Amino acid sequence: MDECGWMRQQLGSTIRQVVIKVLLVAIPAVAHAQSAPDASLQVNTSGSGQAATGAPLTVTLQDALQRAKALNPQFQSALTDQGLAKEDKVQARAGLLPNVNYISEYIYTQGDRTHSNTPAFIANNGVHEYIAQGNVHQVLSYGAIADYRRTAFAEAAARARAEVAIRGLVVTVVQAYYAYVVAQRKYSTEQLAAAEAQRFLDISQKLERGGEVAHSDVIKAQIQYQAQQRDLQEAQLGMNKSRLDLSVLLFRDFNENFAVVDDLRLPAPIPTFEEVQVQATRNNPDLRAALAALREAGQEVTVAWAAMVPSFNVDWFYGIDAPQFATEDRFGRRNLANSGAVSLQLPIWTWGANVSKVKQAKLRRNLAQVELSATQRQLLANLRSFYNDLQTARSELELLSQSADLAAESLRLTTMRYQGGEATVLEVVDAQNTLTQARNAYDDGQARFRVAQANLQTLTGTL
């Protein structure tokens, strides 16, 4: 057997072995894929990592914020825009620096009939031309410098808009998180109210059997008890709905088996308006985004003007451009050499296109100035509005807490007076409703304060 036949035999044997190994790996994988269940839509009601034990996942507010950041499409879109702007800056910076390229080319041209080594086409240097060169290319343009500055401002604006998005996401998560906390509290309040209504119904029935009250009191107590049962069902429905709303924000697999930490408490005093105003001036991302957009628009005007001024291209080549692909020809002469070229580009006539681009850039710059002014005015208005809302919510919390305590004491005293025959059934029912309303108002007030604080933080950062 000759050498070629032996190589073909070895190659065929190697190919057969590879095919057998591929089949041994692929067949079990295909069988496993065919037997696997369809996972196109999975709803987890047991919680990630809690399927075996059934224990709910406990989520704090910070956990909720971290989970929402990874799943919120608006925030991820802002992060993507920031990343794209950063890469635009990298590319613009690369345009200011020399580029190194390698060129390898072979050109064949039909020779002259009388001279076999003379090409028939004037544009070519020979019948056989081999090119293997390194090229250093540099563009000298003021427009490229202005474009790099523009991308730097665009990146700053995208970074500020990403911060705006995350602060807006914080408000959304805080609203959903504490809506669920308050819904749980209201459900507990309605449970207590239903138990109190049941207890009052029992008291009125006992007093009726003793001849101390009329049957109308029992009827009123029954109506109150049924109303509390309806309110309890509505509170449970609201709690389930708020849990679903929060689950959409936090879990990729729509997990419903989780618990939140109730950290609502009487907050500390808030800072003064002057301190908040200083923080808003330094840390407001809307203002930074508008200012960066104005600077970006200014650089766009410079880029448009730069298209009407001269630009230079500098090239330096080193390598082979010869009839033979070799460092020396058959006569011993070196084929390695270098060459350079400098070109000047001067725009003369573009039918008004460059002037039109300058006008467009100026229009965008004027719009950016208007948007910056509007952002400044809106910042001052929102700052005052959000601070007043936070201040009012903070001052009302103490009153709401006192009202809840007083309502509980009023119900206790009114029930005792009713048992003693000194109060009417309407007074007891009114005291029960007042207590439920006072507790719910206090819970809503605490959630309102946290949401108002989050709204103010969109302007000032962390307080």
Range scoring the smallest mean pLDDT among 7-16, 179-188, 426-435: 7-16
CB 207 within 8 A of CB 217: yes
What pLDDT does 26 receive?
A: 40
Q: pLDDT (tens digit, 9 = 90+) per residue, 345-366?
A: 888 888 889 899 999 999 999 9
What pLDDT does 15 receive?
A: 45
Statement: residue 128 has pLDDT above 50: yes
Range scoring the smallest mean pLDDT among 29-38, 386-395, 419-428: 29-38
What pLDDT does 244 receive?
A: 94
Contacts of residue 389, Cβ cutoff 8 Å, sequence gap at least 6: 452, 455
Instruction: Give mean pLDDT, residues 230-257.
Output: 92
Instruction: Give mean pLDDT, residues 134-151.
Output: 89
Residue percentage of the chain with pLDDT more than 70: 85
Statement: residue 8 has pLDDT above 70: no
Which residues span the domain enclosing 159?
Answer: 143-309+353-460
What pLDDT does 17 receive?
A: 53
- Rounded Cα distance, 419 and 27, in Å: 82
Statement: residue 141 has pLDDT above 90: no
Give domain status of residue 123, yes or no.
no
Give domain status of residue 153, yes or no.
yes
Mode of pairing for the β-strands spanning 258-260 and 57-59: parallel
Question: What secondary structure letter does DSSP report for 120?
Answer: S
Contacts of residue 167, Cβ cutoff 8 Å, sequence gap at least 6: 285, 457, 458
Give domain status of residue 56, yes or no.
no
- For the chain, give the number of residues: 463
Say which residue the tokens 């990343």 belong to.
83
Three-class secondary structure assignment of 299-365: HHHHHHHHCCCCEEEEEEEEEEEECCCCCECCCCCECEEEEEEEEEECCCCCCCHHHHHHHHHHHHH
Instruction: Give mean pLDDT, residues 452-462.
Output: 88
What pLDDT does 441 receive?
A: 95
Instruction: Give mean pLDDT, residues 314-333.
Output: 84
What pLDDT does 44 receive?
A: 47
What pLDDT does 157 receive?
A: 94
User: Higher pLDDT residue, 49 or 232?
Assistant: 232
Contacts of residue 332, Cβ cutoff 8 Å, sequence gap at least 6: none
Statement: residue 202 has pLDDT above 50: yes
Statement: residue 101 has pLDDT above 80: yes
What pLDDT does 450 receive?
A: 92
Q: Which of 212, 301, 267 is nearest to 400 (CA)?
A: 267
Instruction: Give mean pLDDT, residues 187-207.
Output: 92
Statement: residue 119 has pLDDT above 80: no
Range scoring the smallest mean pLDDT among 120-129, 204-213, 440-449: 120-129
Give domain status of residue 4, yes or no.
no
CB 211 within 8 A of CB 263: no
Order of strands, edge to edge, in the sheet holding 128-140?
99-108, 128-140, 311-322, 336-345
Residue percentage of the chain with pLDDT more than 90: 53
Give domain status of residue 410, yes or no.
yes
- Rounded Cα distance, 378 and 225, in Å: 50
- Rounded Cα distance, 135 and 341, in Å: 11
Give domain status of residue 48, yes or no.
no
What pLDDT does 365 receive?
A: 95
- Rounded Cα distance, 291 and 297, in Å: 10
Instruction: Give mean pLDDT, residues 297-326.
Output: 88
Q: What is the CATH number of the domain that holds 195?
A: 1.20.1600.10
What pLDDT does 116 receive?
A: 63
What pLDDT does 294 receive?
A: 94
Handedness of CA 137, 142, 143, 147 (dihedral sign): positive
What pLDDT does 56 receive?
A: 85
What pLDDT does 39 receive?
A: 36
Q: What does the longest C-alpha to C-alpha distance in the chain come to? A: 139
Give domain status of residue 28, yes or no.
no
| DSSP-assigned states of every residue in 9-28 | HHHHHHHHHHHHHHHHHHHH
User: Higher pLDDT residue, 173 or 139?
Assistant: 173
- Rounded Cα distance, 133 and 85, in Å: 35
What pLDDT does 36 receive?
A: 38
Instruction: Give mean pLDDT, residues 115-128.
Output: 69
Q: pLDDT (tens digit, 9 = 90+) per residue, 23-64?
A: 444 433 333 333 333 433 344 444 444 444 568 889 999 999
Query: How confident is residue 135, by pLDDT bands cut at 50, 70 and 90?
Result: confident
Give domain status of residue 88, yes or no.
no
What pLDDT does 2 receive?
A: 45
Statement: residue 6 has pLDDT above 50: no
User: Higher pLDDT residue, 435 or 211?
Assistant: 435
- What average pLDDT is seen over the chain? 84
What pLDDT does 121 receive?
A: 67
What pLDDT does 256 receive?
A: 85
CB 266 within 8 A of CB 397: yes
Range scoring the smallest mean pLDDT among 41-50, 189-198, 396-405: 41-50
Count up the domains in the chain and report the number.
1
Instruction: Give mean pLDDT, residues 174-200.
Output: 94
**Is 269 buried (19+), middle (13-18) or exposed (0-12) by CB count in 10 A?**
exposed
Residue 72: CB atoms within 10 Å: 19
